[in-house]
Structure 1
Amino acid sequence: MANKINPILKSYIPVVEGIAKTFGKNCEVVLHDFSKMDRSIIAIANGHVTGRSIGGPLYESLLKNVLDDNIQEDKINYTGKSAEGRVLKSSTMFIRDEDNNNIGCICINFDLSELVVSKRVIDDLIQTESSDLQNEQDESTNRVNDVLTDIVKNTLDKAGKPVAYMGKEEKVNIVKDLDYQGAFLIKGAIDYVAKVLCVSRYTIYNYLDEIRVDSK
């Protein structure tokens, strides 16, 4: 008669499905029973990732560790490849009984292949070469007093939003904060802040007029 599944391991079967459904079709989750090494897989979800199914054996590397009792702790976020060459991010978490003996494990294998391809495409898209425009920006920044540069950087950091996503009101508030800190007393501040906020120097003057009228 076939061996019964240990109740502790049986309680993990719903966890297998839950993890797989949470992370989608690229996430394989496998439950192993160490009492039957040659057919240790007792539950599996998204087995297409490595081509395995219920009744399959432990991987040789894991089997050796189990047989040698060479398991000290869980293995989290290690990388490998499937037989078909899929790039995998894996974790192995061991399951212990009341006497702290290893009786099985849950293995998670996330197929990163599509993400690796996407990353390469994104890297190619965002790669830039040094340009005259960048050189001009660097020279401009170098001409501005370091104190002004720091004030503007810290003020933008506090805003917590890229300039490209700022509306007029947010830019006015940036200028108001800079004015309060005395930034516009520094030579070249108007032109520098205008460049950073992607507006004209006349717009900065208009913002300052608004701010100072409101504060009267």
Structure 2
Amino acid sequence: MTIKKVHPLLLNMIPLVEGISKTLGSNCEVVLHDLKNPENSVIAISNGHITGREIGSPMAEKGIKALREDEYEKNLIKYKTITKDGRTLKSSTLFIKDESNEVIGCLCINVDISEFLVAQKVISELTQTIDEKEKTIDYSKNNFENVNDILYSLVREVLEEKSKPIKYLTRNDKIEVVNQLEEKGVFLIKGSVEYLAEKLCVSIYTIYNYLDEIRRFK
């Protein structure tokens, strides 16, 4: 896309992109989108290595969904994003409106907090005392609407026990996750393998290989 087609208000915001990213450091990606062209919406980006995007890249799925459902009256602040390679991002999307109150663009800030989550786990283990009790979930007290809710809850519970981003999970960590879910009967739920493969950023064949390895020694 040519820069001449961009709204003047968005053009004036381009310097902010580099300014914010330089202030917050190399773990902070800042992206400016022109929403008139969602398939090639990125008109300015700094620290694009975080998500692998560049000028001319399309808008992320969450932003497109917000536009499609007219959910841009309120900015999206501090939501969680998982990259394709398993890193955890703390993200915010700020919608930009013109003088007619029409949404014309958005400024997205994505902070890679993966290393901070690892540090958080270390600090938590160092400060934990024997008086602290493990949290347990009583599934009989949860109001699950369908079997997929149980799947999502069980997977989330097991992954949260790891206390570190997917990117930092080793092969053994992932096998342990699969083993725990196997013991909970998760793989009796239709679509569970595909869902877990997406969460662990691996292929469905990898999950099946893990299951074969686990069952072989039982």
- TM class by shorter chain equals 0.5 to 0.7
| Structure with bigger RCO (C-alpha 8 Å, 6+ apart) | 2
Q: 1:42 to 1:127 in 2, by over 3 A?
A: same
Deviations 1:104-144 (A, max 9, x none): 000001001000001111111222336xxxxxxxxxxxxxx
Q: Percent identity?
A: 51
In the alignment, which residue of structure 2 is the partner of 1:86? 87
> Is it true that 1:42 corresponds to 2:38 in the alignment?
no
Cα distance in 2 for partners of 1:78, 1:61 equals 10
In the alignment, which residue of structure 1 is the partner of 2:21? 20
**Aligned with 1:104: secondary structure?**
strand
Cα distance in 2 for partners of 1:73, 1:129 equals 44
AA aligned to 1:16 is V
Cα distance in 1 for partners of 2:130, 2:111 equals 34
Shift of 1:35: 1.3
Cα distance in 2 for partners of 1:118, 1:28 equals 21
In the alignment, which residue of structure 1 is the partner of 2:125? 124
Cα distance in 2 for partners of 1:8, 1:51 equals 26
Cα distance in 2 for partners of 1:17, 1:71 equals 24
**Aligned with 1:12: secondary structure?**
helix
Kindly tell me the number of residue pairs found equivalent between the two proteins. 130
AA aligned to 1:117 is V
**Aligned with 1:122: secondary structure?**
helix
Q: CA RMSD in A?
A: 1.5
Cα distance in 2 for partners of 1:40, 1:30 equals 10
In the alignment, which residue of structure 1 is the partner of 2:155? none
Cα distance in 1 for partners of 2:47, 2:55 equals 11
Cα distance in 1 for partners of 2:126, 2:94 equals 38
Cα distance in 2 for partners of 1:61, 1:119 equals 27
AA aligned to 2:34 is D
Shift of 1:80: 1.8
**Aligned with 1:29: secondary structure?**
strand
**Aligned with 1:51: secondary structure?**
coil
AA aligned to 1:67 is R
TM-score of the aligned structures, taking structure 2 as reference length:
0.57
> Is it true that 1:70 corresponds to 2:74 in the alignment?
no
Contiguous gaps of at least 5 residues in structure 2: 132-218
In the alignment, which residue of structure 2 is the partner of 1:6? 7
**Aligned with 1:118: secondary structure?**
helix
Cα distance in 2 for partners of 1:110, 1:70 equals 22
Cα distance in 2 for partners of 1:12, 1:128 equals 49
Contiguous gaps of at least 5 residues in structure 1: 131-216
